[in-house]
Amino acid sequence: MPVSPAIEFVSFADVAATGPAARGEEGASALVVFAGENLAFGAQTQRLIAPTAPAIERAARAAKFKGKAGSALDILAPHGLGWDRLIVLGVAPKKDDSDPVDFANLGGQAMGKLSGAARVAVLFEPQGTAGNGAADAGAAADFALGAALRAYKFDLYRTKKKDDSDKDTAVSLAIAVADPAAARAAHGPRAGPADGVALARNLVNEPPNVLYPEEFANRAKELEKLGVSVEILDKKAMTDLGMGALLGVGQGSIRESRVVIMRWNGAAGPDQPVAFVGKGVCFDTGGISIKPAASMEDMKGDMAGAACVVGLMHALAARKAKVNAIGAIGLVENMPDGAAQRPGDIVRSMSGQTIEIINTDAEGRLVLADVLWYVQDKYKPKFMVDLATLTGAIMVALGQEYAGLFSNNDELSERLKKAGEATGEKVWRMPLSAAYDKMIDSKFADMKNTGGRYGGSITAAQFLQRYVEKTPWAHLDIAGTGMGSPSSDINQSWGSGWGVRLLDRLVKDNYEG
Ligand code: BES
Ligand code: MN
Ligand code: ZN
């Protein structure tokens, strides 16, 4: 399982020039400091590195390091500084009008340079000034969060380590700040979301022979330890509810389908819940409309929406969010088989609407149709947000930077957009309209499950909208962002855990207290 660094907040006085190396302690050590424009150091940093300043300046000149944001100087610590390595992170804005430093990214950047270092101290003076209390506490906590997210590794199934940098190094990170107590207080509410992201990443990275619907449900059940109530619907329960759309997808698999309902009641009263719904296709072969072999292994990640919902519920419960929240996931395996669903089949969804199956590979919308309906009908939520690795078409439209956002509600869309900007998990709104809706009318049933070649993500969203009544609803197509997206300062994992921080932030900024 991933090794998360042991992070503690200390005062500047606790970091002595006689670092671990000078004390002869075992394991490689590193000191991380920040530099602004033209190698400007903060007062505390200056105090500590003063005796070795000329050597550092010389190294900086040689490396043409001037303190620009995004750049770093990584050197053998000069003689006299009791650390093995000195890492100077640049924080000077590139241009006067450029964005302020993102401290989570900065923490990730730092962690990325620390492989092999067992003991690390960070002098947290990122502006080149002495820290000034509460305002810096949040930044330090963000830095710690970014470091933890960057440190994530999934090597459960490796029996041999490639090289030293691949080995689990138990990094202990002491972050020196002006007010350690304030930093600790700011860090507390970030720990739950960080663990939630790691949990979501684990679920996405797990292989499909291990993580099939029943096992996925077992993993979700573990949230009970945090006070989440978890209900699992088996095939019999779903048959009785009339979930013919979801069950049709799973009928070709020897692994039974499941729906899991997670409930977190953190609000003071019986407040209407907010609801999150996830696509959990544990493996998507395409079914009878089978996919080509190339990259089919990636379809183990077709449950990234469900993984996000589980990670989010973990985050909300762990930080005791003052909100009532429902997380609901539809778990199936889409396989070709004698018992599998055929193109041409007509199924009846829980809503009563019938669906003609044109392509068995357009299965996510079938799963979501029944889960969305169930949640709306049973819990009457304030809003529903669903997440799904729904269409390849969303990657054609948006690449892997933004998730597609489709919604019947401007306020919810705006809030998601803001939460996206704050967390870096960005969403881009796409259209919905009657003209697209008629592309999924069917000759034989109420609708068909594909709308043709054009606007594939939009017709998929139109399909979902037919299962949403008056409830404010947003659909996030995360096919491009949930897995295999380019690695970043804070994510090097194939399964990104995308959406956990976005939705945690959505709740925190708009629906608590
Ligand atoms: N799970 C796929 C979408 C997907 C593709 C996610 C690649 C991530 C990477 C989904 O079930 C699917 O197969 N969609 C089809 C829909 C089509 C048959 C209408 C697609 O996008 O091709
Ligand atoms: Mn599919
Ligand atoms: Zn799929």
Residue with the smallest CA separation from ligand 1 atom 14 is 391
Partners of 230 in the beta sheet? 262
Q: Which residues pair with 92 in a beta bridge?
A: 68
Average pLDDT over residues 17-26: 82
Residues 362 and 284: their CA atoms lie apart, in Å, by: 10
Residue 166's pLDDT is what?
54
Stretch 470-495: mean pLDDT: 98
Identify the three-state secondary structure at position 172. Answer: strand
For 289-308, give one letter per residue: b (16+ CB within 10 A) or e: bebeeeeeeebbbbbbbbbb
Is 64 part of the annotated catalytic residue set? no
Amino acid 406: pLDDT? 99
Pick the ligand that lies closest to the CA of residue 286: 2
Compute, in angstroms, the gap from residue 390 CA to the centroid of ligand 2. 7
What's the mean pLDDT in 224-233?
Answer: 98
Q: Is 332 touching ligand 1 by the criterion CB < 6 Å?
A: no
Q: Which amino acid is at 373?
A: W
Is 498 in contact with 425 (CB distance < 8 Å)?
yes
pLDDT of 1 higher than 70? no
Residue 221 in this model has a pLDDT that exceeds 80: yes
The protein residue whose alpha carbon is closest to atom 22 in ligand 1 is 392
* pLDDT at site 3: 54
Does 322 participate in catalysis according to the annotation?
Answer: no
Q: How far is the CA of 284 from the centre of ligand 2 (A)?
A: 6
Helix axes 180-205, 304-318, angle to 10 degrees: 150
Sign of CA dihedral 341, 397, 440, 245: positive
**Whether the Cβ atoms of residue 31 and residue 87 lie closer than 8 Å to each other:** yes
CB 136 near ligand 1, within 6 Å: no
Q: Cα of 360 to ligand 2 centre, how many Å? A: 7
Residue percentage of the chain with pLDDT more than 70: 95
Apex CA 370: angle with CA 365 and CA 375, to 5°? 120
List Cβ neighbours of 278 (8 Å cut-off, separation of 6 or more).
303, 305, 306, 307, 308, 309, 310, 327, 328, 329, 330, 386, 387, 388
Residue 84 near ligand 1, beta carbon < 6 Å: no
* The one catalytic residue among 47, 66, 113, 291: 291
pLDDT at 354: 99
Q: Which atom, in ligand 1's list, is nearest to the CA of 334?
A: 11
User: Rounded to a whole number, what is the distance in angstroms from the first to the last CA of the chain?
Assistant: 35
Model confidence at 177: pLDDT above 80: yes
Task: Give the least confident one: 22-36, 54-68, 189-203, 224-238.
Answer: 22-36
Nearest ligand 1 atom, CA 393: 21
Only one residue has tokens 């399964």, namely 495
Dihedral angle, C-alpha 399, 403, 408, 409, nearest 10 °: -130
Residue type, 171: V
Token output for 261:
């309902």
